[in-house]
Amino acid sequence: MTPLPFADIATRAFFTEWLEVFSGYVRAVDFNSARPLWHPDVVTFGTHRDVVEGLDTTIATQWSNVWPRTADFRFDLGQTRVLAAPDATMAVVVAPWTSTGFHPDGTRFDRPGRATLVFTMTPDGWRVAHSHMSLNRGVPQDSHANRPIGSVPA
């Protein structure tokens, strides 16, 4: 059987840096800065919605429901796996993540999950074409923080 096309060192480094940059935008609740990293026609699903088409809808139904209500979002880069097509047209990043959730009384809880991000190469560089971000089993779905949005969608 042909082995999986794991990314070379440089490609892996690019995507782990991408994860670091994106997670910083999540922590800052900065939608506008995160927007150029994603394809405008992205197809997503996750905790709050099944299948969503388009970046504006993803921001309105996913990001807006999660980012302001959680804190401390980070990908676990040591556990991240990057697959890349040999022709550099698509890549898949599989990464666990951690964050902090908040009960209604303000107490914190660990809120880990996992992500699959499918990237496509565009004339402007790599963009997310699909994402699936979900909580680990048994983690409360609701988080009750109300952090300010650092940058609202334009």
Structural domain boundaries enclosing 128? 9-85+114-135
With a cut of 60, say whether residue 152 has pLDDT above it. no
Q: What is the pTM of this model?
A: 0.93
**Which pLDDT band, with edges at 50, 70 and 90, does 55 fall under?**
very high
Average pLDDT over every residue of 43-58:
87
Which range, 5-9, 48-52, 149-153, is most confident? 5-9
Within-domain flag for 97: no
State whether the Cα torsion 119-120-125-128 is positive or negative. Answer: negative
Q: Is residue 95 part of a domain?
A: no
**Three-state SS annotation for the chain:** CCCCCECCHHHHHHHHHHHHHHHHHHHHCEHHHHHHHEEEEEEEEECCCCCEECHHHHHHHHHHHHHHHCEEEEECHHHCEEEECCCCCEEEEEEEEEEEEECCCCCEEECCEEEEEEEEEECCEEEEEEEEEEECCCCCCCCCCCCCCCECCC
Please report whether residue 91 resides in a domain. no
CA distances in angstroms from 77 to 46, 51, 95, listed in the order given: 20, 26, 7
pLDDT tier for residue 49 given thresholds of 50, 70 and 90: low
User: Residue 151 domain-assigned?
Assistant: no
User: Is 63 part of any domain?
Assistant: yes
Give the chain's domain count: 1
Instruction: Answer positive or negative: Cα dihedral of 30, 33, 37, 39.
Output: positive
Q: Kindly state whether residue 62 falls inside one of the protein's structural domains.
A: yes
Cα–Cα nearest to 131, from 77, 91, 71, 100: 91
Please give the average per-residue pLDDT across 68-74, as a whole number: 96
pLDDT tens, position by position, 85-132: 999 899 999 999 999 999 999 999 999 999 999 999 999 999 999 999
Q: What is the pLDDT of residue 48?
A: 60
User: What's the pLDDT score for residue 154?
Assistant: 44
**What does pLDDT average to over the chain?**
93
Domain assignment present for residue 3? The answer is: no
Whether residue 16 lies inside any domain: the answer is yes
CATH number at residue 25: 3.10.450.50
